[in-house]
Chains A and B, each alone.
Chain A
Amino acid sequence: MQHLQKLVDQIDLAPNASIKLDALKSYFQSVPPEDAAWALFFLEERKLCTKVGTRLLKELITSETGLPAEMIDGSNAKIHDLPETLALMLPWNGRSCELSLSTLIIQFVEPLAGFAAQAKRETIRCAWKTLSTPERILFNKLLVGKFQIGIAREMVHKALGEIGGISPGVISHRLASNWPPDAGTFQRLIQADPENDLAIETYPLHEAMNLEGRPETLGKIENWVTEWALRGVRAQLTRRKDAIALWSKKGITLKNNFPELLNLSQLLPTGTVMDGVILLPLKRHRDIANLPKKPSQKNASPSEIHAHETPVFVVHDLLEYQGNDIRQCSFTQRRTLLEQLIQDWKQQWLICRSNLSTGNVNPDCMQQEMFSMSEIIGMESTGQVPMEPVRASHQISADSWQGLRQCLLNGPDDRTRGMILKQKNASYPVQEHDTPWWQWKPAPNTVHLVLVSALRNTPGHMESLSEYHFGALSGQEWPCVAKTSIVVREEDRREMDKWILSNTLRKQGPLRHVQPQMIFELTFDQVVDAPRSHSQIKLTNARVIRHAIELNLENTVSLGQLLSKSPSIFDSTEADVRLD
């Protein structure tokens, strides 16, 4: 346990990511594999069933310290972390526990679920006695299943990958299954398996660059293909040998987020890698009446969304065909292959469906044993198999740039953020001098909002503010809807800074709250859902255009107005998808 505690300490103190990474690596390398496996289990945010609730822990603290429940709640109100509050209420103990993490878990945590209340109390009391105060904080977090210590999973994957000499993507892929936390698992996890690892190798995905000027500068429109820039989860699907994997842009496996997509991808031929965007289903019932209460995270859980509709993988490029890297081929060539591939796939899929619906399954169309019949049938029985869950991106046809411009003005719906322009004879952009994809965005929207707070730059630079937050009225409050550090006019920034520093109502760490009073004109691209923020929405790509000195508070836009403009889609970043 003391090693894990030391790791948490080091992570706390680490000034930058590379030092955090080193700390993680040296932890995983220095502890026995069974301890590493358990630490990983919790870092992966998995929960152990202990059947220990916070009530039991509170009762225990009361009996240990004589502090009544109101004292516990009153203290917790200050730090908002019950496992920590409870641990701090016991007299300080600086002596570290000699037991290893796995021993501690086997002796004190795993058996809890089977114990009666009295035995649970005795066991926990006993564990507390052997642990130091910082270790008790961790232990309590393990008990109630909230082990958040400020380490991103990506970083954990990276550390393990570096230890094993394998890519973090492979680690993330291996961790996505339901593995038992034991020594063998951990050893296998960091062991390279060249043959199979190769099967899930990914390509770096290209991100379109913003087209700042006019598209006319790109030359003849005939040389270009135009597609919608879709909002959704950018993903890469790799289908090689037995392995089918779906990856986020950052190389995190999306296996558990889109199981049905993976199932359907069994019908693709092996040796296929595709680049595309997963469109998430529309969030149908946005409950405006409940605002601005935060929705529970459950509202956004993939399972509930899937009950309405399933996600669609819109493929916009083909990177590997029949086991060959085709990125050097021209876009036109790749596109032809892609269309053929999808056409074939669709055929298979249709056969599969019709066979399933009549109950006659032709095993020939199931290319792999991984193909799970029950899941396809299960979907069929609810009658909600979507049309074409995998499809090629739509191409916009226009004879002239002017015509395309018209499309951009009329065209974009809630699910797009402009257009992507790709040169027909260009290879898939990999290096800097490759012709990039260009993203052409519609002109931004304009809105008037009220300054509500600002973020101080770095500790020490008291005088400089780095980010400004703007709110829209909702009831008596001004929940923040836009954050930006871009202020177009330098004099506005100076004025704002001066005003904020001399009119700070309340400081919250680096945040300076001010009286909602100063009104600004901002531009933004879109209103998107932000289920975790107080306002539930946010304006993307906001910029401060000017101080709207002539307006008063009634002229600003309200949260309700923004909501009615808001496209009701579940616009998801990678972080949001990983809610599961």
Chain B
Amino acid sequence: MLILSRPDGLYCQKGDFYIDPSRGVDRAVITHAHADHARRGSKHYLSSTASAPLLKRRLGRKISIQSLEYGVSVNIQGVKVSLHPAGHILGSSQVRLEYGGEIWVVSGDYKTCKDTTCTPFEPVACHTFISECTFGLPIFRWPSPEHEWQRILQWWQDNRDTDRTSVLKVYSLGKAQRVLQALKDVGSEILVHPSIMDLVPAYETQGIVFPPMQIADAKSVRKSKGKALVLTPTCNSMEAWMDEPESWQMMEISGWMQVRSPRRKRHLSCGFIVSDHADWDGLNQSIHATGASQVLLTHGDGILLMNWLKRKGLETRILKPDNTKKELGKN
């Protein structure tokens, strides 16, 4: 077992380091800068070159961080470690570990469909693949992103026609920049929440071009009322900025938006189907492309995917944070 699942994260005993630990540790390899993967408090961090500036923004300027280009390996106590593009957000990586001829790959979050703000996912050959499975149900099969960008533009236009401000609720890291990039040629009157703007320079240094945009605040939002597209990670701010709830409409952008059934909808807002995670086909293709003989699923309810992979003759288990204690006892 090159990697163990411990209560505080995936742990490589041979190299004595963690991957995306949930608390501060001595040495942490970070797949990407999302908050559920990158946490404060570790003594040393290792990440991809493109991820390092984002981690510094989020975890603090003073962290000790070593960055690696994709495909370049380092040796940590005899374990050969390299990072490979995961296609999830800027700088997101899969982590490849090799020791004594055995190869493990931890996928982190990944997707296989087009995203112009990051390096595309590359399958990495391995013996054991630890895959996320956020959307591990066969009902999740994404439309092409272009299809959804068109829908967003149409919606924005419809809102302008009826004098309403369009508000997109997006993660400030990754999704927001992906949307901005997709709208780069049509952008006029795009306002973004400061937390999104904060992360834009890290993208620009990677050569990614954005449409002209302004910081969203009470003044700018009111000024371009009825015309603007506002990107924000939270709706609280909009409520503070705009008095009449009728004057703006908010939509989410997420894979969950694919499910429309009324029962579900009662609890979810409406929106567009653009995800930074792999869909059912993406998961299956990626898993098979690694050629792995053992698959461990994490980050989602993977029971259906596990059964499906087993049917296809792949040895598959679910790696849940809940049963990590048991795992630990076993090993």
Contacts and interface: CB of A to CB of B under 8 A. Distances in A.
Nearest to A67: B138
B308 A71 contact: yes
A388 interface: no
A85 B270 contact: no
Interface stretch (A87-95, A217-225, A279-287, A488-496): A87-95
Nearest to A81: B261
A15 B259 CA distance: 19
Contacts of B303: 74
Given A88-B139, A459-B269, A509-B266, A15 B260 contact: no
B218 to A, nearest CB: 16
Given A88-B258, A94-B144, A460-B234, A13 B138 contact: no
Interface in B245-259: 245-246, 249, 251, 258-259
A79 B257 CA distance: 12
Interface residues of A, number: 38
B263 A80 contact: yes
Contacts of A343: none
B141 interface: yes
26 contacts: A13-B270, A70-B307, A71-B304, A74-B303, A75-B138, A78-B259, A79-B139, A79-B259, A79-B263, A80-B264, A84-B260, A88-B138, A88-B141, A88-B258, A88-B259, A89-B138, A133-B143, A149-B262, A150-B262, A150-B265, A459-B269, A460-B239, A461-B239, A508-B267, A509-B266, A509-B268
B210 interface: no
A12 B264 CA distance: 12
Contacts of A297: none
The 3 closest A-B pairs by CB, nearest first: A509-B267, A81-B261, A88-B139
A75 B139 contact: yes
Nearest to B234: A460
Contacts of B258: 88
B141 A91 contact: yes
A84 B259 contact: yes
A333 to B, nearest CB: 47
A79 B261 contact: yes
Contacts, number: 88
Central interface residue in A65, A88, A91, by most chain B CB within 10 Å = A88
B263 A81 contact: yes
A141 B138 CA distance: 19
B171 interface: no
A402 interface: no
Nearest to A461: B239
A88 B279 CA distance: 12
Contacts of A91: 141, 281
Interface string A347-372: 00000000000000000000000000
Contacts of A88: 138-141, 258-259
A71 B281 CA distance: 14
A460 B307 contact: no
Contacts of B238: 460
Given A88-B140, A92-B142, A94-B143, A74 B304 contact: yes
Contact of B261 (A84, A133, A509, A510): A84
A278 interface: no
A94 B236 CA distance: 33
Nearest to B258: A88
A493 B319 CA distance: 42
Given A15-B249, A79-B261, A81-B264, A460 B235 contact: yes
B147 interface: yes
B273 to A, nearest CB: 9
A408 B304 CA distance: 61
A128 to B, nearest CB: 14
A137 interface: yes
A80 B261 contact: yes
B137 interface: yes
Nearest to B311: A68
Interface of B: 137-144, 147, 155, 162, 234-236, 238-239, 245-246, 249, 251, 258-270, 281, 303-304, 307-308, 311
A543 B155 CA distance: 42
B261 A16 contact: no
A148 interface: yes
Contacts of A65: 138
B139 A89 contact: yes
A4 B175 CA distance: 30
B138 to A, nearest CB: 5
Contacts of B304: 71, 74-75
Contacts of A134: 260
B143 A92 contact: yes
A461 B237 CA distance: 11
A509 to B, nearest CB: 3
B249 A71 contact: no
A173 B169 CA distance: 44
Contacts of A510: 267
Contacts of B138: 65, 67, 71, 75, 88-89
B283 to A, nearest CB: 14
Contacts of B246: 15-16
B255 to A, nearest CB: 12
A459 B281 contact: no
Contacts of A13: 155, 249, 251, 270
A19 B249 CA distance: 12
Contacts of B137: 74-75, 78
Contacts of A94: 143-144, 147
Given A15-B249, A150-B265, 16 more contacts: A19-B162, A67-B308, A68-B311, A75-B138, A78-B259, A79-B261, A79-B263, A88-B140, A89-B141, A92-B142, A458-B245, A459-B235, A459-B269, A461-B239, A509-B267, A510-B267
Interface in A176-218: none
Contacts of B268: 509
Contacts of B239: 460-461
Nearest to B239: A460
Contact of B260 (A12, A80, A459): A12
Contacts of A16: 246
A460 B281 contact: no
A88 B140 CA distance: 7
B143 A71 contact: no
Nearest to B236: A460
A13 B269 CA distance: 9
Interface string A89-130: 111101000000000000000000000000000000000000
A65 B258 CA distance: 19
Contacts of A68: 311
A540 B310 CA distance: 53
A137 B260 contact: yes
Interface string A328-357: 000000000000000000000000000000
B249 A79 contact: no
A410 B162 CA distance: 58
A15 B265 CA distance: 14
A16 B140 CA distance: 29
A525 B247 CA distance: 39
Contacts of A19: 162
B245 to A, nearest CB: 8
Contacts of B308: 67, 71
Interface in A53-67: 65, 67
